[in-house]
Structure 1
């Protein structure tokens, strides 16, 4: 399966604004909410409504970015011109930021459900211990391959007659892992092709 990956870095978090990594599961700042909404408007303008799934880190600022930026895409099943095409929101724990500072450590399922009741079914799919990390050296060296294989599995699960496209909302540490030497500012995105190289390894290019 080949497909397009729109790799999004979450909008400004409160920990970015205050330079404080001790804010637990840092949410978006007020400016971050505005950035996320602007991100969505620009994305729709450039890409219309072609995305089949949004895959997000379960950290609060990533979920908030996904919901604030892409309500039109997530609600496309209600839009007549999309003929009832449902767009999935998938929470994928391996997209969470790598370090174990409080700002980069997620919340319990109950806290997430209280804050985001509209996506409770997606939250229920997370492992109850999804946010517990082994330390600042996590994830493991093969983590990149694990993430790309999961994104490829999601692409393969989509029913579309055209090349599938998904939005992936994540963090700087994961972006550096998946696309080395690529700079994506907060509240911005870059589009990649996901395919296998000569050694049958999945890569973004």
Structure 2
């Protein structure tokens, strides 16, 4: 069982280092990144996708869902014929693939700072005791992401119970994809996960559409086996990334 933790594709606000709104769309480069990570994960055995409700995450999740559908050898008859309760989309995945949107996975709420460039901030909005006006404190954010992780674990265990472990011959074991945000990914790794031997978090960069793979170790503990991988972005012209450029 693998959980694929994916950061959303780039937005113009990412590239310009501006704190984002929930409805910020992907940039042209972000769309290409989403397509690339989607192709990477198309044959990974993903049977369920959880996504933040922010537009940039949903767009990335939809790209992954579409790629999985295109890799399926036989779309369902209802999907192809546009039967009752379905849309005639030949690229849509079978009904066994679920995409669920959950606000608990959204990025930290920076309140009235949304739309403000990092360079124009007069204070450290990431300080532990700082509460953005109309936004979310560090404590509230951490509590929410702790609940989000419980949701992710529950879904992963349900997938295991429904689909078994796989035999390695008929394809990969059923997997779960989680599409979220830079601060969410960082908090999950730092507060809720172990690191497999050889995984070094020093200097980690949560680039857009980076993929983190999470599996259980021999003691049944969830651990990171691949951290913030961007191999699928090789050859792309990427925007500079600062220590604050992951929101």
Structure 1 residue aligned with 2:52: 57
Distance 1:177 1:54, change over 3 A: same
Structure 1: segments with no counterpart, 5+ residues: 106-132
User: Which residue among 170, 193, 214 is the counterpart of 1:192?
Assistant: 214
In the TM superposition, what are the counterparts of 1:12-161 in structure 2 within 5 Å? 12-21=10-19, 25-44=23-42, 48-73=43-68, 76=72, 78=75, 86-101=96-111, 135-137=135-137, 139-158=140-159, 159-161=162-164
Distance 1:102 1:189, change over 3 A: farther
Structure 2 residue aligned with 1:170: 180
Q: What SS does the corresponding residue of 1:167 show, helix, strand or coil?
A: strand
More relative contact order, 1 or 2 (CA 8 Å, 6+ apart)? 1
Distance 1:140 1:185, change over 3 A: closer
Structure 2 residue aligned with 1:123: none
Q: Which has the higher helix share?
A: 1
Structure 2 length-normalised TM: 0.57
Q: What SS does the corresponding residue of 1:168 show, helix, strand or coil?
A: strand
Instruction: Provide the alpha-carbon RMSD of the alignment.
Output: 3.3
Hey, what's the Cα distance between the residues in 2 that align with 1:185 and 1:95? 18
Larger Rg: 2
Hey, what's the Cα distance between the residues in 2 that align with 1:203 and 1:104? 34
Hey, what's the Cα distance between the residues in 2 that align with 1:72 and 1:94? 25
CA deviation vs aligned residue, 1:105-133 (integer Å, no higher than 9, x gap):
9xxxxxxxxxxxxxxxxxxxxxxxxxxx9
Q: What SS does the corresponding residue of 1:6 show, helix, strand or coil?
A: strand
Q: Retained in 2: the 8 A contact 1:12–1:28?
A: yes
Distance 1:142 1:69, change over 3 A: same
Hey, what's the Cα distance between the residues in 2 that align with 1:22 and 1:140? 16
Hey, what's the Cα distance between the residues in 2 that align with 1:140 and 1:20? 20
Structure 1 length-normalised TM: 0.68
